[in-house]
């Protein structure tokens, strides 16, 4: 994997984790997004600025990953990007959302990253 391919994968991971975090900010405090049905959920998403920003970040993540896939095998790019997202989301969820980082979560992330490392080699 060359440096530009890795840069694209990191960019995709950063925007993906940012998008997920924005969705949490926009909807993490609400009871059930689907309580008013699918159409109601679509309206609530489209009218929530955090959700709109999250969708934009997912789009940018998609563009980074698309560019990465022109340089890196899918079987390497996707697991590496996903592993980076796991690490980023774990940190963000702890720092910004006061979520617990339990021993089981750490073991799970370690196992996932071990698999990602094995695949990328």
DSSP string spanning 37-73?
A: HHHHHHHHHHT-HHHHHHHHHHHHHHHHHHHHTTTS-
Phi-psi region of 2 (alpha: psi -120 to 50; beta: other; left: phi over 0): beta
Task: Report the mean per-residue pLDDT for the chain.
Answer: 90
What residues contact 92, with CB distance under 8 A and at least 6 apart? 17, 21
Q: Is 39 exposed, middle or buried (0-12, 13-18, 19+ CB in 10 A)?
A: exposed
Predicted TM-score of the model (pTM) = 0.86
Q: What percent of the chain has pLDDT over 70?
A: 99
Residue 37: is its pLDDT beyond 90? no
Task: Write the pLDDT tens digit of every residue in 64-121.
Answer: 999 999 999 998 999 999 989 989 999 999 999 989 999 999 998 899 889 888 877 7
Domain holding 91, by residue range, is 3-120
The total domain count for the chain is 1
Q: What is the pLDDT of residue 119?
A: 77
């Amino acid at each position: 994997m060359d440096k530009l391919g890795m840069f694209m994968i990191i960019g995709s991971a950063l925007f993906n984790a940012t998008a997920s975090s924005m969705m949490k900010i926009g909807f993490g405090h609400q009871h059930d997004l689907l309580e008013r049905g699918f159409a109601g959920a679509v309206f609530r998403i489209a009218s929530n600025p955090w959700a709109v920003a999250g969708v934009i970040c997912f789009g940018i993540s998609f563009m980074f990953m698309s560019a990465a896939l022109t340089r890196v095998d899918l079987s390497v790019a996707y697991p590496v990007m996903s592993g980076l997202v796991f690490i980023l989301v774990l940190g963000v969820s702890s720092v910004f959302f006061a979520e617990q980082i339990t021993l089981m979560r750490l073991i799970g992330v370690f196992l996932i990253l071990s698999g990602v490392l094995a695949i990328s080699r």
